[in-house]
Amino acid sequence: MALDGEYLKEIEAARKDLRQLLQSKKQFSPIILRLAFHDAGTYDVKAKTGGPNGSIRGELNNPANNGIKVAVDFCEQVKAKHPKVSYADLYQLAGIIAVEVTGGPIIPFVPGRQDARNQQDRGALPNPNGDAKHLRDIFHRMGLNDRDIVVLSGAHTLGRANKDRSGFDGSFTENPLKFDNSYFVNLQKEDKPGLVKFPTDKVLLQDPAFRRYVQLYAKDEKTFFAHYAESHKKMSELGFQPPRAVVKA
């Protein structure tokens, strides 16, 4: 894909439309963020397959993707206005803006992802009932490290668990439409009625290597935001080699 001026203009126009939509309909932000995570999360660093390539729109029958059609349909209204923008770019840009409009950090976005020609979901996504080994197996397969695992788990500050998707019901924080460090603060507190903790959340406190990051982010939101922005960008670019910009004479 050539990053010519026309494509970059389309990206900026899509960014503007996504921001306007999500600012007026913030309730869609959590599922949009989940869309971005799940499209990227199939990446296999050794096989060089999967990743943020837009293929998730053909993978909605995967039980791990239950409910994500809502986000795919939401993004389709922007795609219709900007057909030149790849689905791969659109979904990752939407995820970044979902974080931004709910009060989270500004995450740099580099366009140029190409859409996969076929279904790519060979890499498993995290199971909420998994243990520390499961989390490491999944995220290390993507090429992410322990800090990435913990800080990206902080995205649970947005949204809620749904019985038909994860087997759990309830939000992770008191304000599920505000991106902050309350997920980590709550992890260190006793369980509260109405709030959910997956086994994969609780293991972040049980595992010593994970726990030190939980404690850091619960105490220091600024550091959480800085690390989150780094890891989210990293996740959104798994297997992606940014193309060179083409400047027309």
Tell me, yes or no, whether 108 lies in a domain.
Answer: yes
Residue 106: domain span: 5-123
248 — pLDDT class (breaks 50, 70, 90)? very low
User: Could you tell me which residues come within 8 angstroms of residue 221 by beta carbon, excluding any fewer than 6 positions away?
Assistant: 180, 181
- Does 139 share its domain with 119? no
Percent of the chain residues past pLDDT 90, beyond the cut: 84
The total domain count for the chain is 2
Tell me, yes or no, whether 192 lies in a domain.
Answer: yes
Is residue 4's pLDDT more than 60? yes
How far apart, in whole angstroms, are the C-alpha atoms of residue 89 and residue 109?
A: 9
pLDDT at 247: 43
> Mean pLDDT lowest for which of 119-128, 142-151, 193-202?
119-128
Is there a catalytic annotation at residue 227? no
pLDDT at 187: 96
Q: Which residue has the higher pLDDT, 177 or 5?
A: 177
Q: The CATH number of the domain where 76 resides is what?
A: 1.10.520.10
> Mean pLDDT lowest for which of 6-15, 59-68, 71-80, 239-248?
239-248
Sign of CA dihedral 70, 71, 77, 80: negative
How far apart, in whole angstroms, are the C-alpha atoms of residue 9 and residue 15?
A: 10
Nearest to 224 by CA among 193, 189, 180: 180
- Look up residue 83 and give its DSSP letter: T
- Does 99 share its domain with 171? no
245 — pLDDT class (breaks 50, 70, 90)? low
Tell me, yes or no, whether 249 lies in a domain.
Answer: no
pLDDT at 227: 98
Residue 112 tokens read as 């140029």
Q: The CATH number of the domain where 150 resides is what?
A: 1.10.420.10
Tell me, yes or no, whether 240 lies in a domain.
Answer: no
Q: Which of 38, 82, 227, 232 is catalytic?
A: 38
Q: Find the mean pLDDT for residues 122-134.
A: 89
Q: Find the mean pLDDT for residues 169-188.
A: 96
- Does 19 share its domain with 73? yes
pTM to 2 decimals? 0.95
- Does 102 share its domain with 180? no
- Does 138 share its domain with 118? no
Q: What is the mean pLDDT of the chain?
A: 93
> Mean pLDDT lowest for which of 75-84, 96-105, 191-200, 212-221?
191-200
Q: Are 105 and 99 in contact (CB under 8 A)?
A: yes
- Does 14 share its domain with 70? yes
DSSP for 137-201, written as a single string: HHHHHHT--HHHHHHHHGGGGSSEE-HHHHS--EESSS-TT--SSHHHHHHTSPP-TTB---HHH
Tell me, yes or no, whether 243 lies in a domain.
Answer: no
Tell me, yes or no, whether 247 lies in a domain.
Answer: no
pLDDT at 124: 82
pLDDT at 121: 62
